[in-house]
Amino acid sequence: MNLTEWIISIMEQLGYLGIALLMFLDNVFPPIPSEIIMPSAGYSASQGQLTLFGVIIAGCFGSLLAAALLYWVGYKFNNDSIFGFIDRYGKYLFIKSEDVKKSLDWFEHYGHRIVFFGRMIPAVRSLISIPAGMSQMPFWKFMFYSGLGTIIWTTFLACIGFYFGENQALMQQIFSQVSHVILVIVIAIVIWILYRRHKRSTKI
């Protein structure tokens, strides 16, 4: 049984709870991608087994629950404890200390907005919550940005499966184009932030 078949079997057995569980795992275990989970759930909704609204709510709930848990880990434990844990057990979660350090640098350089866009970028959404907690970002603000990004991304993926689930080639083409668009937007925002900082520093 491959990963896609396993994901579908979980959803068939557990329904909305299965979707929430899988999206929770997507955030703490990067090899389980939302790009398979939510389109598959959306396709099931198109077949009448689930509702599209229920699929989106379940996906958002599981994703945000994991984000809150990872934020709490970053908030409660000191940096040495977190990096020590990742050095020892991160290989089982496919996470490296270097990845967390890189996410922390991104967070410190580009601000809280990175949480919003990070929810729509594979692997980054699994890492950005910990640096947010480590930097003491206000929890309400973290959940606000996370919620916005999660709702947009989860709804998009579910709708792709709902409307185009039978055309796998078209789905892959859409995912590829959207990934490029998100990357361009993130780069543009980074350039804009760096430009503002440079302009501000030249005035001093």
167 Rama sector, left if φ>0, alpha if ψ -120 to 50, beta otherwise = beta
Total count of domains within the chain? 1
| 91-114: pLDDT as tens digits | 666 667 776 776 677 666 666 777
DSSP per residue, 172-198? HHHHHHHHHHHHHHHHHHHHHHHHHHH
Segments forming the whole domain that contains residue 195: 3-203
pTM of this structure = 0.74
| 130-165: pLDDT as tens digits | 888 888 889 998 999 899 989 988 998 898 888 876
User: Coil, helix or strand for 39?
Assistant: helix
What is the spatial distance between Cα 37 and Cα 74, in angstroms, rounded to a whole number?
26
